[in-house]
Amino acid sequence: MTNHRNAQPSTHYDVIIVGAGASGLYCALTAGRRGRRVLVIDHANKAGKKILMSGGGRCNFTNYFVEPEHFIGANPHFCKSALSRYPSWEFIGMVEAHQIPYHEREHGQLFCDDSAQDILTMLLDECTAVGVQIKLNTQINHVQTTDHDKAKRFELITSKKLGKKDVASESQSSQTRYRCESLVVATGGLSIPTMGASGIGYELAQQFGHTLIATDASLVPFTFTDKTGELIRSLAGISLPVIASNERISFKLPVLFTHRGLSGPAMLQLSNYWHSGETISINLLPDVDVTDILLTRKKSHPRQLIRTVLAENTDNALPKKLLAALQTQLWDDIKDTELANIKDERLSELGATLNGWQLKPSGTEGYRTAEVTRGGVKTDEVSSKTMQSNLQEGLYFIGEVLDVTGWLGGYNFQWAWASGFVSGEVV
Ligand code: FDA
């Protein structure tokens, strides 16, 4: 934060929203519709960058089946009120009113047919229609409260965000002072810093006495070192349906082997529930009991080899390359031994491993690729009905900056729209 004593005279708004992302824009258009004078400030050179990159460029903007169980946070009840007041069909209604073509994919996920740009254009058009002003390339240098006149309760000192070549000509006169009655923090989490993510929301929360729940990268691929890492990397490109689980939860979804570790929906979902140092379990053949098959086959076809049985299991066969790699790692010593000559215990052990491969990730790919940030502003200190701070009147936190993290599947945007809406109704 830079010197703010020489900032220019103030400019007054009813509501200032910091962050022109999903939640900030939704709060802005909702408050604008109520006739509030709204300014949205963002340090990025473009609004809604994460919307544009979401859903592989098609934005998984919501889900038909939104339940509080699809969200995690220290207080699992916090999200209920906003989600019930702003259900997914409200957002779908807006998408349809703007004639944006969309489709449903598995598990109720809704995507644009054409481009995520359609969603951003819709939000920006709605903002423009109700007179919302958006200031980009703007850096917040200082936020403070003034002790008089509720309407000018907050004061923000900002300056134009300078590019490298502008720094030499920086002058104090580039600073602007804004005042507002309601200040909304919609700055998202720490994921993908190159898209404008910063920790300013957490800093502001702490400035006003809020507690933070420890943050971590989430909806993120796992990484592995040691021999397992080598094995996984050698299988890069393979995808198969599995059950990925830990002590808390299970997901039956595809896993993807990559050059960095394990990704795909099963792993991203599980990452929301994973803590450093924990083991995860992957059932590579979720629809069959491998022990049962091997023991039954030992009786009926005692001369068969393990790989023949597993490759024959046509409905659920493991990809050949994966089967070969697993053989090298798990039963290389008995790879040419007939079932009749393998002890039942060994077959049961192998079956248990294939139905529950125990892996210890060395970590995750981190904020560089994570879709969301878990943790954030503690929700016990924020009203679940309005998103207003319990510690500072007129201060609001919405979207991902709060300790509310959704599953993969459009839930994080639904939280952004819902928390933006309920705050926009009262700011
Ligand atoms: P969001 O990140 O949208 O906006 C925060 C804004 O604050 C940004 O514009 C940023 O520039 C601004 N800001 C930050 N620091 C600032 C500062 N210091 N000063 C001023 N402004 C500042 N979810 C989903 O439901 N479906 C999906 O398909 C996807 N896909 C997806 C793909 C990828 C690659 C990512 C990274 C994420 C997703 N997500 C997703 C998650 C989703 O994008 C995310 O949860 C929401 O955008 C969160 O909305 P917010 O408004 O809270 O933050």
Handedness of CA 85, 87, 93, 99 (dihedral sign): positive
Instruction: Determine the distance separating the centroid of ligand 1 and the alpha carbon of 95, expressed in angstroms.
Output: 19
Average pLDDT of the residues of the chain: 94
Residues 399 and 327 occupy one common structural domain: no
Q: How much is the average pLDDT of 374-388?
A: 98
Domain-located, residue 74: yes
Residues 130 and 252 occupy one common structural domain: no
Q: Could you identify the atom of ligand 1 that is nearest to the CA of residue 196?
A: 11
Q: How much is the average pLDDT of 178-187?
A: 97
Q: Could you identify the atom of ligand 1 that is nearest to the CA of residue 49?
A: 9
Residues 38 and 87 occupy one common structural domain: yes
Residues 133 and 113 occupy one common structural domain: yes
Domain-located, residue 369: no
Q: Which of 364, 386, 405 is the last residue of a domain?
A: 364
Query: Residue of the nearest CA to atom 48 in ligand 1?
Result: 400
Residues 316 and 342 occupy one common structural domain: yes
Here the ipTM equals 0.99
pLDDT value at residue 1: 45
| Closest by Cα among 104, 79, 72 to 269 | 72
Instruction: Determine the distance separating the centroid of ligand 1 and the alpha carbon of 170, expressed in angstroms.
Output: 29
pTM for this prediction: 0.94
Q: Which of 364, 387, 404 is the last residue of a domain?
A: 364
pLDDT above 90 for 168: no
Q: How much is the average pLDDT of 347-369?
A: 97
Instruction: Determine the distance separating the centroid of ligand 1 and the alpha carbon of 50, expressed in angstroms.
Output: 5
Label residues 147-156 b or e (16+ Cβ within 10 Å = b).
Answer: eeeeebbbbb
Residues 24 and 165 occupy one common structural domain: yes
Q: Which of 313, 334, 364 is the last residue of a domain?
A: 364
Tens of pLDDT along 20-41? 999 999 999 999 999 999 999 9
pLDDT above 70 for 163: no
Q: Which residues contact 44 (CB under 8 A, 6 or more apart)?
A: 20, 136, 137, 195, 196
The CATH number of whichever domain residue 235 belongs to comes to 2.40.30.10
pLDDT above 70 for 252: yes
pLDDT value at residue 7: 53
pLDDT above 80 for 170: no
Residues 16 and 85 occupy one common structural domain: yes
pLDDT above 70 for 363: yes
Residues 106 and 229 occupy one common structural domain: no
Tens of pLDDT along 314-348? 566 789 999 999 999 999 999 999 999 999 999 99
Residue showing tokens 């409200």: 90
Residues 196 and 265 occupy one common structural domain: no
pLDDT value at residue 262: 98
Instruction: Determine the distance separating the centroid of ligand 1 and the alpha carbon of 307, expressed in angstroms.
Output: 46
pLDDT above 50 for 2: no
Residues 126 and 250 occupy one common structural domain: no
Hey, is 121 helix, strand or coil?
helix
Q: How much is the average pLDDT of 293-297?
A: 96
Domain-located, residue 35: yes
Q: How many domains does the chain have?
A: 2
Q: How much is the average pLDDT of 364-381?
A: 97
Instruction: Determine the distance separating the centroid of ligand 1 and the alpha carbon of 56, expressed in angstroms.
Output: 14
Residues 209 and 271 occupy one common structural domain: no
Rounded to the nearest angstrom, the gap between the alpha carbon of residue 409 and the centroid of all alpha carbons in its chain is: 10
Query: Residue of the nearest CA to atom 12 in ligand 1?
Result: 19
In which domain, by residue range, is 418 found?
Answer: 10-214+374-424
Kindly indicate the confidence band of residue 196, based on its pLDDT and cuts at 50, 70 and 90: confident
Nearest-5° angle of CA 92, CA 95, CA 96?
A: 85
Kindly indicate the confidence band of residue 112, based on its pLDDT and cuts at 50, 70 and 90: very high
pLDDT value at residue 315: 64
Q: Pocket around ligand 1: residues whose beta carbon is below 6 Å from it?
A: 18-24, 41-44, 49-50, 53-55, 59-60, 140, 186-188, 191-192, 196-198, 200, 371-372, 399-401, 410-413, 416
Instruction: Determine the distance separating the centroid of ligand 1 and the alpha carbon of 347, expressed in angstroms.
Output: 48
